[in-house]
Amino acid sequence: MSVLGGKNILLGISGGIAAYKTAFLVRLFKKAGASVKVVMTESSKDFVTPLTLSALSGNPVLSSFVNSDEDGETWNNHVELGLWADLMIVAPATANTLSKMANGSCDNLLLAVYLSAKCPVYFAPAMDLDMYAHRTTQESFRKLESFGNIMIPAEEGELASGLVGKGRMAEPENILQFIENHIISGLPLRDKKVLITAGPTYEAIDPVRFIGNHSSGKMGYALAQEAAALGAEVVLVSGPTALTLNDEKIKVVPVVSAEEMYQAVHAHFAHCDIAILAAAVADYRPKEVADTKIKKASAVMRVDLEPTKDILASLGSIKENRFLVGFALETNNEFDNAVAKLKRKNLDAIVLNSLNDIGAGFGKPTNKITFIDKELKSEAFGLKAKSAVAKDIFNQIIIRLHA
Q: Do residues 193 and 232 touch, judged by C-beta distance below 8 A?
A: yes
Q: How far is CA 335 from the centre of its chain?
A: 31
CA neighbor of 34 nearest in space, from 93, 85, 92, 110 = 85
CA neighbor of 237 nearest in space, from 215, 205, 209, 269 = 269
Per mean pLDDT, which range of 193-197, 199-203, 247-251, 255-259 is the poorest? 247-251
Please report, for residues 26, 150, 195, 338, the alpha-carbon distance to residue 322 in angstroms, rounded to integers and kept in the order given.
41, 35, 11, 20
Q: What is the pLDDT of residue 307?
A: 96
Confidence at 3, pLDDT banded by 50, 70, 90 = confident
Q: Which domain holds residue 222?
A: 193-401
Q: What CATH number corresponds to the domain at position 302?
A: 3.40.50.10300
Both 149 and 175 in a single domain? yes
Domain closes at, from 185, 213, 243: 185
Q: What is the pLDDT of residue 368?
A: 92
CA neighbor of 112 nearest in space, from 83, 135, 151 = 83
Q: Do residues 329 and 353 touch, judged by C-beta distance below 8 A?
A: yes
Side chain identity at residue 170, one-letter code: A
Both 164 and 45 in a single domain? yes
Q: What is the pLDDT of residue 230?
A: 94
* Number of domains the chain is built from: 2
Q: What is the pLDDT of residue 74?
A: 64
pLDDT digits (tens, 9 = 90+) for 51-87: 999 999 999 999 887 776 655 566 677 888 889 999 9
Burial (CB count <10 Å: 0-12, 13-18, 19+), residue 23: middle
Domain closes at, from 185, 216, 248: 185
Q: What is the pLDDT of residue 69?
A: 60
Side chain identity at residue 264, one-letter code: A
Both 134 and 249 in a single domain? no
Both 142 and 222 in a single domain? no
Burial (CB count <10 Å: 0-12, 13-18, 19+), residue 77: middle
Per mean pLDDT, which range of 128-142, 295-309, 376-390 is the poorest? 295-309
CA neighbor of 403 nearest in space, from 287, 395, 180 = 395
pLDDT over 90 at 359, yes or no: no
Q: Pick the residue with more confidence: 294 or 35?
A: 35
Contacts 24+ apart (CB under 8 A), 137-140: 137/95, 137/98, 137/99, 139/102, 140/95, 140/98, 140/99, 140/101, 140/102
Q: How far is CA 197 from the centre of its chain?
A: 18
Instruction: Give kind and range of the element (H or E) at residue 395.
Output: helix 386-401
Both 256 and 227 in a single domain? yes
Kindly state whether residue 13 falls inside one of the protein's structural domains: yes
Rg (CA), the chain: 28
Q: What is the pLDDT of residue 351?
A: 97
pLDDT digits (tens, 9 = 90+) for 210-221: 999 999 999 999
Kindly state whether residue 162 falls inside one of the protein's structural domains: yes
For residues 376-399, give the mean pLDDT.
96
Both 173 and 205 in a single domain? no
Side chain identity at residue 284, one-letter code: Y
Q: Do residues 200 and 157 touch, judged by C-beta distance below 8 A?
A: no
Q: What is the pLDDT of residue 65?
A: 79
Q: What is the pLDDT of residue 276?
A: 98
Both 48 and 117 in a single domain? yes
Both 222 and 264 in a single domain? yes
Q: Do residues 93 and 123 touch, judged by C-beta distance below 8 A?
A: yes
Give the C-alpha separation, 163 to 166, whole Å. Answer: 10
Give the C-alpha separation, 402 to 102, whole Å. Answer: 36
Q: How far is CA 167 from the centre of its chain?
A: 34
Phi, psi of 371, deg, nearest 5? -95, 125
Domain closes at, from 122, 152, 185: 185
pLDDT digits (tens, 9 = 90+) for 95-151: 999 999 999 999 999 999 999 999 999 999 999 999 999 999 999 999 999 999 999
Kindly state whether residue 3 falls inside one of the protein's structural domains: no
Catalytic annotation, residues:
213
Both 38 and 129 in a single domain? yes
pLDDT over 90 at 26, yes or no: yes
Phi, psi of 266, deg, nearest 5? -70, -25
Both 237 and 365 in a single domain? yes
